[in-house]
Structure formats: structure tokens, C-alpha cells
């Protein structure tokens, strides 16, 4: 069992260092639009700014709608329209609030004024065409917990799930 433990520790160390060294690809660390577009071929950059783009819009990692947006070189996003919200759990009222807010045009990054529904930030990720709306509720999960709670009086066992 000892060799397996040292292999597991080495693997965990390798994964943790690669995560720290890797650029953010999941939208958790926002970068400016110009920085994200640097990796694009020169011909494609002209088709990235100031033209309609199809994106997915999420609020706190929950699907809001598919949409058409326009991005500008000064890190602004303007919604043209929501195109398909089939499968979204948001109410029509909340979706309309986000639509009105984004149609007015927003600066990407932290929200500094007139922030609806306790909005903290708006981010865009070029790699997966994702617009993320982050609110104060981002770390509060109203859904079913994914893990079992530990017993109040302590535990004498281990729950294992091989996935």
C-alpha cells in the first residue's frame, strides 16, 4: 500500500502545480478581450471585434440563454438578443432583467454601478464563447448537495466512490 500512496501524492502534486501554472481556460481568471484575442490568427481578429458572435450566457454557472453579442476592443459587451433559453431554470422575469442590462452595453470585469440582482462581475471567455454573470449568490448552491454531510457526533468510517 505504501508505493500506491506515494504515487497518489506525486500525482496530486503534479496536478496541483500544473493547475497553478496553466492559463485559465474555464473563465475563472478574466483577461481582457485583447489579451484573449492575441492567440488568434490575424485574419480572424477582424471577425472577433464589432461583429455579432454567438455565445452562451450563464449566471453563477447556471444556464441563462444562448445569445448574440458584440464585443469591442475596449472590453465592452453589448447583447443583441437572447436566441434560445430552452433548458434554463431562470424565470422569464429574471431573464428579462439580464437582457435589459446587457442590451445597454456593459464593461467586462467587476460591476461598479447600476448592478442588477447583486451582480459582482461580467466576464467573457473566448475559448468556449461563454459570458459569465457572477452574483453574490455564486458560491451559494440551492440545488441538492453533491457530497454527504459528516455525522454530528463524528465518524468511524469512510465513504468511497470510485468514478
pTM of the model: 0.66
Beta strands at 119-125 and 106-107: parallel, antiparallel or unpaired = unpaired
Amino acid 3: pLDDT: 46
Amino acid 147: pLDDT: 66
Amino acid 143: pLDDT: 60
User: What is the full per-residue pLDDT of the chain (163 aa) written as tens digits?
Assistant: 444 444 443 434 333 333 333 344 444 446 788 888 887 787 777 788 899 999 999 999 999 999 999 999 899 999 999 999 899 999 999 999 999 999 999 999 998 888 888 899 999 998 899 999 999 887 765 565 666 677 777 777 776 777 6
Residue 33 φ then ψ, to 5°? -60, -40
Amino acid 30: pLDDT: 60
Q: What is the C-alpha to C-alpha distance for residues 75 and 124, in angstroms, rounded to an integer?
A: 9
Amino acid 12: pLDDT: 41
Largest Cα–Cα separation, the chain: 63
Q: Are 97 and 116 in contact (CB under 8 A)?
A: yes
Strand partners, 57: 65, 131
The domain locations on the chain are: 54-139
Collapsed DSSP state (helix, strand, coil) of residue 14:
helix
Amino acid 142: pLDDT: 58
Amino acid at each position: 500500500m505504501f508505493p500506491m500512496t506515494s504515487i497518489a501524492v506525486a500525482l496530486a502534486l503534479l496536478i496541483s502545480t500544473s493547475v497553478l501554472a496553466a492559463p485559465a481556460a474555464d473563465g475563472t481568471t478574466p483577461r481582457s478581450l485583447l489579451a484573449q484575442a492575441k492567440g488568434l490568427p490575424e485574419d480572424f481578429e477582424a471577425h472577433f471585434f464589432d461583429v455579432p458572435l454567438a455565445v452562451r450566457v450563464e449566471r453563477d454557472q447556471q444556464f441563462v440563454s444562448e445569445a448574440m453579442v458584440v464585443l469591442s476592443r475596449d472590453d465592452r459587451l453589448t447583447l443583441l438578443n437572447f436566441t434560445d433559453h430552452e433548458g434554463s431554470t431562470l424565470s422569464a422575469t429574471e431573464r428579462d432583467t439580464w437582457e435589459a442590462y446587457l442590451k445597454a452595453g456593459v464593461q467586462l470585469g467587476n460591476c461598479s454601478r447600476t448592478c442588477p440582482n447583486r451582480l459582482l462581475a461580467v466576464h467573457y471567455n473566448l475559448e468556449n464563447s461563454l459570458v459569465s454573470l457572477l452574483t453574490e449568490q455564486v458560491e451559494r448552491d440551492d440545488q441538492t448537495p453533491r457530497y454527504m454531510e459528516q455525522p454530528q457526533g463524528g465518524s468511524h468510517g469512510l465513504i468511497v466512490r470510485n468514478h
